[in-house]
Chains A and B, each alone.
Chain A
């Protein structure tokens, strides 16, 4: 056994690290570090910097203009990005739709959409969930009815992340009510500017505006926007869900949050003594650090398997559960470490030019909101209960 990266992998890591250091705009990194919301421009700016370098499509095969990196290099890249507080690359186009088009899309669709999701022309969002179809996604009702050269779409999607910025949405729609629900679903690409589409914001408990309802009333979609075959959409969606989910644990991000928490705990004082020396708090921090250490190895084990050609099965569900629970625990400890000051709702205090009261230490003015916002991580992307169902089904087989 050898737990270490190879010399080549280490050299690659150093290259990535120094490139990020030189190219990641400081103001953007600070926003990420302080959990301040990023604007659309911030996100696009970073995307284009990566695109120029050729690293935006780091997970794509070379034939589609990707780097052709294997799972280990992709992992190293992602961890370095997260640890340096680079904005997360939005997954909807590059990680979700991209691979589906490469495998099931037509040549025309590949040639048209793939470059545009890289150069900032198309901001994609994901239209799967509906009010009545969450965990039970196959029960979705948004209907697409064929009418000559078009589909006429009616229905409602919900929880659409950053749909307010989107130019395009990829949707699962119902094209048949015969047979099993999974067999009547199609995968459709829809221009958000089409008449009949309405985006309504949903405010989250932390006050944030990251999700939306998207309503469709007699929306005309050209038939060439169908991906693959009609009524085969479920297969494509499932492919997308199982595709290379080796980074789902978010090790880099959690390591960065842990470092920040340790710094905070060292500077917070009770009775003149740092909170990091309080045995109760120190034990809580130690436990999450240990979980994270173990998870890192678990993640590397999955990676080694993927590098050798194995497809992650129940392991990606395991990593999703572990990763989100650790992430949530870190947000919980961060708010706790702040004591009474976690009660102040002064997110603007993390921004330059703010001249109101500073209640919490710099960079921690949004910690309670972040804690509440992170409740989402065990709900979305297949809730943790659903992941547990998957694990037992695949392993126990009942």
Chain B
């Protein structure tokens, strides 16, 4: 058994860490997150140059990684510095779908940071269920037209194409739709960043992959997203842990550092052990990306559930132990806590995945 990362992955982590430490202050991230386009394009491209995106793709698609542990290493580093660039939404999620559909030019541009695509899958009243698709695609062969609405499509504005799930007579299929054929209404998200409600009204779409294979392709995308989000959450929790421990050591009340109060010591211990549990869950999920079927699905559900539960604990406890200062916009903690909580609102929350875990267990 060996729980250390390979030399290459450690170097990648170091490179990302150095770049972010030097060039990615939180204040600029917060400001960018609350305006258009919700992120910092120069940094997105800068990170692509560093190989951050290439690390997420296998060699045969033009990258140099693409395994579960590559994804985890990258997103843990991004989480530590609360990076708010659409690496997951614009690259990791759409890239492999386009690769599987033979769109190799698009993938090359994604890896270079020169193109961004957006997956438009969730619908209003789906509550995370990606098989709930009311959007329809009519036609056959090369020409389909799509009609329907999609909700909370991240970083839709300015993207180079939408991947849209729609129902055909063969089931669910994925289509590539040009940005100009989609109506968007954008807004800011709680933790900073942009999303859109999108409407398709007879929009022309190109079938990606096989007709009827959409649900499986979405499940694959969900697994990538779950791993990326969980690793990001782990990175966030480590930073929160450091901030909280530092605060417990330095904040004095009643003449002593508040970390002297046993009430807070035990809660800190609880938080620390839960973060270790989260790390184990992320390792388990990274490894599971090399598996398939129900075995992998069950581990992914277990991981997302764990991250949702532990993330809430860490966000709430850290704010509480900071007292009033933890409630302020000016102090970094709150921004980390917000992202951590919002991760539970992406790709299924803890209840959704707990239920899924139970269902998958019945089937096994």
Contacts and interface: CB of A to CB of B under 8 A. Distances in A.
B261 A345 contact: no
B93 to A, nearest CB: 15
Contact of B151 (A135, A359, A380): A359
Contacts of B126: 270, 339
B324 A380 contact: yes
Contacts of A379: 319-320, 323-324, 326-327
A357 B187 contact: yes
B128 interface: yes
B338 A357 contact: no
B241 interface: no
A384 B263 CA distance: 11
Nearest to A358: B197
A158 to B, nearest CB: 7
A343 interface: yes
B346 to A, nearest CB: 7
Nearest to B198: A357
Interface string A121-149: 00000000100101110010000000000
B4 interface: no
Interface string B77-98: 0000000000000000000000
A13 interface: no
Interface stretch (B6-14, B43-51, B140-148, B329-337): B329-337
A254 interface: no
Interface stretch (B242-250, B285-293, B349-357): B349-357
B354 A339 contact: no
Interface in B245-262: 252-255, 261
A247 interface: no
Contacts of A369: 190
Given A134-B253, A136-B254, A270-B132, A343 B342 contact: yes
A368 interface: yes
A110 interface: no
Contacts of B264: 385
Interface stretch (A52-60, A85-93, A370-378): A370-378
A139 B354 CA distance: 47
B125 A269 contact: yes
8 contacts: A211-B327, A344-B187, A357-B185, A357-B197, A368-B342, A371-B341, A375-B319, A380-B324
| 3 nearest CB pairs, A to B | A205-B334, A357-B185, A270-B127
